[in-house]
Amino acid sequence: MRKIYILLLLASTLVMGAQTNVNYPQRVANYDATFTDGGGNFNEGTDSFGMWANNAAKQSVAFRNFTDTGVPGGTATTMGVGDSFTITVSATRAFGVIGLALLSSPSSTTSWADRINNYAVQVNLNGDGGNYDPWEVVSTGGTVNASTIGGSTTAADFDFKFTLSTATTMSVSINNGAVVFNVTLNNQNITGYSIYIADDWNGSANSNIYWKPTTEYIYATTLDSKKIDAVENLNISPNPVRSTFTLNKNVDRLEIYNLTGKPVKTFEGSFKKGHDFDISSLAQSIYIVRTENENKEKQTLKLVKL
C-alpha cells in the first residue's frame, strides 16, 4: 500500500508543477535529418551516436527537434525560460571542427551551412589544422567567448549544459561548471539542435566522435497540464490501473512512455472505445500515454500503474 500512496503522491506533484526530465536517446533513428559530404553517422553501443568525417574536408551533420518525449513522433516543444538541455560528446580534436548549435526553426537542413541555420548559440572546437584550440561559445552577432578547455591527444568527455535564463539570454556551462558563459542569444524560440564534425583527422589518425548518454532536456515546470491530464473528453479508465484500461474514444495508435521519455509499450491498430489495453507487464510507476486517432489528432495523458 505504501508504494501505491507514493505513486499517487508523485502524480499529484506532477500536476502541481514539478520539473519534467526527458531523456534523448542517442540513436541514428532519433534524428530528424542528416547531411553528409563524405562523412557518416552510426550507432555505437546501446545509446551513443557516432560521427566520422575522415580527412580531406569531409563533413557530417545531424539535426534533431525538441519533443515532449525526446523521440520523433512526440509533440514539438520550444525552449522555455528556466528549461535546460545537457549533452555530452567524447572527442579528441579535429583538423576541421566539432560542434553543436541550438537552432530556432531552421529553414533548411540539407547542407553543411545549415548546421547553424537560424542558430541561437553555438559551441565549437575548431581544429585549426590539428591545433589544440579551446572550445568556444558563439552567440549574438557572432560574438565568440573562448573557454580554457581544449582538445586532447586522447578521447575525453566534454559536457555542455544550456539553460535559458530569459527569452534572450542563456547560461552555457562546459564540463559541469568548469567554465560558464552568460550570453545573449542570436535567435529566440529554440526548437532543437544540430551536431556536426568536419575532417576528423587529428594529426596522427582518424578519430570518430561519440554523442553519449545522458542527453537530457529538463522542463522548468511539468509539461503543460492540458497535455498531461485528461484532455478534450478523452479519458483513461480506470486510472490508477493494475492490469488493463480502456479509453472512451477511438484511437489508431497508443504509445506509453516512462518519465525519462523512453517508450515502453506501443499499440497500433483500429481500436474502438472500450478496447482493453493490457499493461500488466509494466512496473508500478507513472507513465505518459500518447494517442493518435484516424484524423492524426494527438493527445497526451498521465497514467498511474499500480
Q: What percent of the chain has pLDDT over 70?
A: 89
Q: Is residue 264 part of a domain?
A: yes
Residues 6+ apart with CB under 8 A from 177: none
63 falls within a domain = yes
Name residue 180's beta-bridge partners: 173
Q: pLDDT tens for residues 187-205?
A: 999 999 999 999 988 878 8
Asked if the model's pLDDT at residue 11 lies above 70, the reply is no
More confident residue, 152 or 236: 236
Percent of the residues in the chain that have a pLDDT greater than 90, as a whole number? 59
Query: Are residues 167 and 105 part of one domain?
Result: yes
- Residues 200 and 125 occupy one common structural domain: yes
pLDDT over threshold 60, residue 123: yes
Q: Is residue 13 part of a domain?
A: no
**Alpha-carbon gap, residue 225 to 254, rounded angstroms:** 19
Angle made by CA atoms 140, 87, 146, in degrees to the nearest 5: 40
Q: What is the mean pLDDT of residues 250-260?
A: 84
- 130 and 153 in a single domain? The answer is yes
Model confidence at 34, in pLDDT bands (50, 70, 90)? very high
pLDDT score at 109: 98
Based on the fold, state whether residues 145 and 291 are members of the same structural domain: no
5 pLDDT more than 60: no
The domain spanning residue 246 has which CATH number?
A: 2.60.40
Task: Evaluate whether 34 touches 61 at the Cβ level (below 8 Å).
Answer: yes
Say yes or no: 64 and 174 in one domain: yes
* pLDDT at 257 (0 to 100): 81
Residues 24 and 65 in one domain: yes
What is the pLDDT at residue 105?
Answer: 96
Tell me what the mean pLDDT of segment 171-187 comes to: 96
Q: Is it the case that residue 227 has pLDDT exceeding 60?
A: no
Size (the chain), residues: 306
Side chain identity at residue 29, one-letter code: A
Give yes or no for residue 41 having a pLDDT over 50. Answer: yes
Say how far apart CA 61 and CA 106 lie, in whole Å.
14
What residue numbers bound the domain in which 231 lies?
225-305
* Boundary residue ending a domain (187, 219, 251): 219
Last residue of a domain, one of 199, 219, 239: 219
Q: Are residues 111 and 242 in the same domain?
A: no
Lowest mean per-residue pLDDT among 111-120, 256-265, 280-289: 256-265
Shared domain for 56 and 203, answered yes or no, is: yes
In a domain, 57, yes or no: yes
231 and 268 in a single domain? The answer is yes
Q: What is the pLDDT of residue 225?
A: 42
What's 213's domain CATH number? 2.60.120.200
Q: What is the pLDDT of residue 221?
A: 63
Q: pLDDT, tens digit, for every residue of 72-93?
A: 988 899 998 888 999 999 998 8
Cβ neighbour number for residue 148 with a 10 Å cutoff: 9
CB proximity list for 122: less than 8 A, separation 6 or greater: 99, 100, 101, 102, 116, 137, 138, 139
Q: Which residue among 151, 186, 219 closes a domain? A: 219
The CA distances from residue 306 to 72, 211, 241, in Å, are 28, 36, 6
State the DSSP string of 179-204. Answer: EEEEEE-SSSS--EEEEEEE--B-SS
Q: Domain check: are 166 and 143 in the same one?
A: yes
Give CA–CA dist 7/50, Å, rounded: 37
pLDDT of residue 156: 93
- pTM for the full predicted model: 0.70
- Position 12 confidence tier, pLDDT thresholds 50, 70, 90: very low
User: What's the pLDDT at 4?
Assistant: 52
Mean pLDDT of the region 140-158 = 92
Report the 10 Å Cβ neighbour count for 213. Answer: 16
**What is the pLDDT at residue 9?**
52
Domain count for the chain = 2
Identify whether residues 23 and 170 lie together within a single domain: yes
Q: Is it the case that residue 14 has pLDDT exceeding 60?
A: no
In a domain, 126, yes or no: yes
Mean pLDDT of all residues in the chain?
Answer: 87
Residue 287 has pLDDT above 90, yes or no: no
- β-pairing, 277-278 vs 285-292, is unpaired
Distance CA 195, CA 90 (A): 13
CA-wise closest residue to 146 among 126, 130, 168, 163: 126
